[in-house]
Amino acid sequence: MNEGITAEEQAARLARYYDLDFLDVHYDAELYQQLAHDSGGPVLELGAGSGRIAVPLALAGHEVHGVDLDEAMLERGRQHWADARGSLDPERLTFETGDFFEYRPGARFGLALIAVNTFLLAEDDDARVAILTTMRESLRPGGLAAVEVGTPDAAELEGFDGRLQHEWLRVDPQTGEEVSKTISAVHEAADASVLLTQIYEWTPPCGGPLSRVTHTDHIHLVSPEQLGDLALAAGFAKVDLWGDHLSTPHHPGSHRVILVARLV
């Protein structure tokens, strides 16, 4: 089904389909713009991907540095910035290839962030504290760190039983191809993790053979209380836990938690 598709092409496809997946998602970027304004910037984004958050932040006037290990995603981020910036200084937004588990910043920032569920790739508390410590060490006095993770409830986790769930059917604006996304999630209660497989299938705009690329992540869940404790263990002085992008305090019905930790 993927005959003739190189590893580089698969990576490029996954980067494109990530953009397609988040085509209409803007609410979190608005939150990070507010946090960047409150902190005074500049901004460090770990796991910056294709610049979905970094580009709007730079367009809003902030200096932004994005770090990601996926070069195909970063290439899209650089292109998005080149397409959007107009006469703005190209150095306002820079991207660097790097593993955020090992990244050591060479500058100080007003805001350090990890969006969506990227933080959940950390396998244990040692790795989580190491990431949060990197964020703390990247901040200047008074800076903010923001981390967003999903907090599925018991009913949602019960549905993570490996069944295939079709999420959407969209047209790729770059190629005109019809793209379908299907996921399969398996909850492993023993270690509080989810094995998430994302399946993208596409056909040429005028019809033709079906092709497919897949990507699997092992996501390690954390509770809101655990996330707050980890931030304190990493040396942050004040921690807030929000349940949505409107700064509402986290409560038992929240489906996500947004950690905002302050370096005082």
What pLDDT is attached to residue 103?
86
Q: 91 and 24, same structural domain?
A: yes
Q: 196 and 87, same structural domain?
A: no
Q: 231 and 116, same structural domain?
A: yes
pLDDT by residue for the chain (264 residues), tens only, comes to 455 678 899 999 999 999 999 988 888 988 999 999 999 989 999 999 999 999 999 999 999 999 999 999 999 999 999 999 999 999 999 999 998 888 888 879 999 999 999 999 999 999 999 999 999 999 999 999 999 999 999 999 999 999 999 999 999 988 999 999 999 999 999 999 999 999 999 998 887 888 999 999 999 999 999 999 999 999 999 999 999 999 999 998 899 999 999 987
Q: Is residue 32 in a domain?
A: yes
Q: 234 and 202, same structural domain?
A: no
Q: 136 and 58, same structural domain?
A: yes
- Say whether 97 sits in a helix, a strand or coil: strand
Query: What CATH number does residue 180 fall under?
Result: 2.20.25
Beta-carbon count within 10 A of 53 CB: 29
Q: 115 and 69, same structural domain?
A: yes
Q: 111 and 180, same structural domain?
A: no
Q: Is residue 2 in a domain?
A: no
What pLDDT is attached to residue 264?
78
What pLDDT is attached to residue 124?
95
Domain that holds residue 209: 154-220
In degrees to the nearest 10, what's the CA dihedral of 62, 67, 71, 75?
0
What pLDDT is attached to residue 4?
60
Which one-letter amino acid corresponds to residue 80? H
- Say whether 157 sits in a helix, a strand or coil: helix
For tokens 């979190």, what's the residue? 28
Q: 180 and 159, same structural domain?
A: yes
Q: 25 and 105, same structural domain?
A: yes
pTM higher than the cut 0.85? yes
Q: 113 and 80, same structural domain?
A: yes
Q: Is residue 1 in a domain?
A: no
For tokens 């018991």, what's the residue? 154
Q: Is residue 77 in a domain?
A: yes
What pLDDT is attached to residue 5?
75
Across the beta sheet with 238-242, the strand order is 93-97, 64-68, 43-46, 109-114, 139-150, 256-262, 238-242
Measure the CA–CA gap between 214 and 208, rounded to whole angstroms. 20
Q: 52 and 77, same structural domain?
A: yes
Q: 216 and 134, same structural domain?
A: no
Query: What CATH number does residue 25 fall under?
Result: 3.40.50.150
- In sign, the C-alpha dihedral spanning 140, 143, 149, 153 is positive
Q: Is residue 106 in a domain?
A: yes
Complete DSSP assignment for 102-140: T---SS-EEEEEE-TTGGGG--SHHHHHHHHHHHHHHEE
Nearest to 19 by CA among 55, 44, 43: 55
Tally of domains in the chain: 2
